Structure 1
Amino acid sequence: MSELRKGYLYAFVAYTIWGFFPIYIKLLRPSAPVEILAHRVVWSVAFVALVLTVARNWRFLGTLIRQPRLMAGIAVAAILIAVNWGMYIYGVNSDRVVETALGYFIGPLVMVLLGVTILRERLRPAAWAALGISAVAVAVLTVDYGRLPYIALSLAASFSAYSLVKKRLALPAAQAFFVESATLALPALGYLGWLVWRGESTFGHVSAGHTLLLALAGAATATPLMLFAGAANRIPLTALGIMQYIGPVLQFATGVLIFHEPMPPVRIVGFTLVWLALVIFTVDGVRQARTAAAVRRATMPEPEAAAAR
């Protein structure tokens, strides 16, 4: 299998795992969201530590410790991903899987908004149109829910900010994920110890299957992240961007078809507007990428241009 095909396979498997992740989270009941989050952090550290040990790849740790600014950036990323995980678990276990899917649908548009406000990037008219339509969609869904879709907005904002920080840090995926999880491990262990002291821990007290599922939280979290990193190194960014919608599409289908969450007409209108915004944004992005590639080929010497085709 070629590296390109491997990249597409890795991306597909990663997004499929994320798409069906609500089923796994539901199976962790009756654990409360914060307890699930704490186990997710602790077992992620253990799992990635095992992976790094097998790969004999621990040298990076000493390099990171000697760079306080880099460690500070990793700490910020850790807080953002903890917020994202916590809101996601809360959303799933409060029977709002469809709203969590909405958060990941609008995530790319929030990322564009961050690019404009923080990085001072300029947007093309199509991107502005997509942002405008998405704002109308949020207004429609606010009317439908009777409140702001705060779970969706929190998920989109936290993951977009996390992605921005990660882009600036530019660290290898597994190593960075280990340090992020390790940053959160001490408070997570403290919280789990507090639950044990109060006799409120569910770990080992519900069933053998439930205990095993909690222990597998680290592998379930880290595996799609590492597959995603492998895909990002093998396939074009535009292809990766289009494939990212596999996750929220499957989450949406899971919420509606498996968990039978309601989809009244106004909510359907809101989601339709979101999807319209994403179509405009994606088509514009693909067109721009093709134009840029054509320009690069036109400015290449003829042998290199032929190879690029």
Structure 2
Amino acid sequence: MDKSKKGLIAASSAMILWGLLPVYWKQMSDVPAYEILSHRIIWSLVASSLLLIPGNRWAAVRDVIGNRKNLYMLMTSGTIIASNWLLYIWAVNKGYIIQCSLGYFINPLLNVLLGFLVFKDALRKVQWWAIGLAAAGVAYQIVQYGRFPWISLGLACSFTIYGLIRKLASVESLPGLFVETAFLSVPAGAFLLWTALSGSGAFPGAGAKTSLLLMGTGVITSVPLIWFVWGARNLSLVTVGLLQFVAPTLQFGLGYWVYHESFSSAQMVTFAAIWVALTIYTVDSFIHRPSPKIADQV
């Protein structure tokens, strides 16, 4: 099997796991979101530490620590991704999986807009139409549904800004995850120590199943990330772009068909507008794709 096929399997597997992640969080719905987040930080630090051992990749971590600019940027990106994780875990366990999926459908279009605003990337007229249509869909929901879709936009904006900072930092994903979680482990560890001493923590008081699930948060954070990064490096940018719609599609299916979340007509209009916008954007990207090349960093 050639590298492109292996890359497709790896990246697709990562997206499927990310799309099914709500099922994992639902198994711990009785645990407060901020406690799950703290465990995710600590166990991700442990998992990334172990995964850095093969190939002696600790040199990359030392390079980050020795570069004050990159170190500060990763401290910032770590804070942002922690807020994204917290909002996502809370929203899933409160019954807002569909709103979460909307956020990750919006994310690619926000990336395009941010590229224009920050990197001065030229946008074609069709791309502007796609962004405008998505914005109109969100505006319709605000007017008709009577509520600002803050969960969706919060997830989309935080993940977009996180991606921007990681792009500017130019640090590989795994060493970057280690540095981010090492920084976050101080408050997370202090909080978990307090819950353990006070007897209010879920680990290990909630039983073996919950304790194992909390420990597994490090694996479900680190492993899909490695799969996706490796896969993306062996795929065209267009293929990577198409794959990013797998996870929110699965999330939407889980929210609607498995967990039977409410789905209003206003939400349907918003989703329809964004789906059409993404179709326009994807077709335009395919037509104007650059010469075949390998994605060198995600």
Letter in 2 for 1:79: T
Letter in 2 for 1:76: T
| Superposed counterparts of 1:39-54, under 5 Å | 39-54=39-54
Q: Which residue of 2 aligns with 1:304?
A: none
Contact 2:103 2:156 in 1 (8 A): yes
Counterparts of 2:150 and 2:264, CA distance in 1 = 19
Contact 1:78 1:180 in 2 (8 A): yes
Greater CA drift, 231-240 or 55-64:
55-64
Q: Tell me the CA shift for residue 143 of structure 1.
A: 3.6
Q: Tell me the CA shift for residue 72 of structure 1.
A: 0.8
Greater CA drift, 5-14 or 64-73:
64-73
Q: Tell me the CA shift for residue 120 of structure 1.
A: 2.3
Q: Does 1:249 find its partner at 2:249?
A: yes
Could you list the runs of 4 or more consecutive aligned residues of structure 1 that deviate by over 6 angstroms after TM superposition? Answer: none
Q: Which residue of 1 aligns with 2:194?
A: 194
Residue segments in structure 1 that go unaligned for 5+ positions in a row: 297-309
Q: Which residue of 2 aligns with 1:303?
A: none
Counterparts of 2:232 and 2:76, CA distance in 1 = 23
Q: Which residue of 2 aligns with 1:305?
A: none
Greater CA drift, 171-180 or 153-162:
171-180
Letter in 1 for 2:205: H
Q: Which residue of 2 aligns with 1:98?
A: 98
Counterparts of 1:11 and 1:142, CA distance in 2 = 35
Q: Which residue of 2 aligns with 1:28?
A: 28
Counterparts of 1:223 and 1:45, CA distance in 2 = 12
Q: Which residue of 1 aligns with 2:291?
A: 293
**How many matched pairs?**
293
SS of match in other structure, 2:119: coil
Q: Does 1:72 find its partner at 2:60?
A: no
Q: Which residue of 2 aligns with 1:128?
A: 128
Contact 1:11 1:228 in 2 (8 A): yes
Residue segments in structure 2 that go unaligned for 5+ positions in a row: 294-298
The percentage of counterpart residues that share the same residue type is 35
Q: Give the TM-score of the pair, scaled to structure 2.
A: 0.95
* Alignment deviations for residues 78-113 of structure 1 (CA, whole Å, 9 cap, x no partner): 111111111111110110000000000000111112
Q: Does 1:141 find its partner at 2:129?
A: no
Q: Which residue of 1 aligns with 2:296?
A: none
Q: Tell me the CA shift for residue 196 of structure 1.
A: 2.2
Counterparts of 1:214 and 1:146, CA distance in 2 = 37
Contact 1:144 1:267 in 2 (8 A): no
Q: Tell me the CA shift for residue 144 of structure 1.
A: 4.9
Q: Which residue of 1 aligns with 2:10?
A: 10
Aligned alpha-carbon RMSD (Å)? 1.5
* Alignment deviations for residues 171-227 of structure 1 (CA, whole Å, 9 cap, x no partner): 222111111111111111011112223332111112211110001000011111111
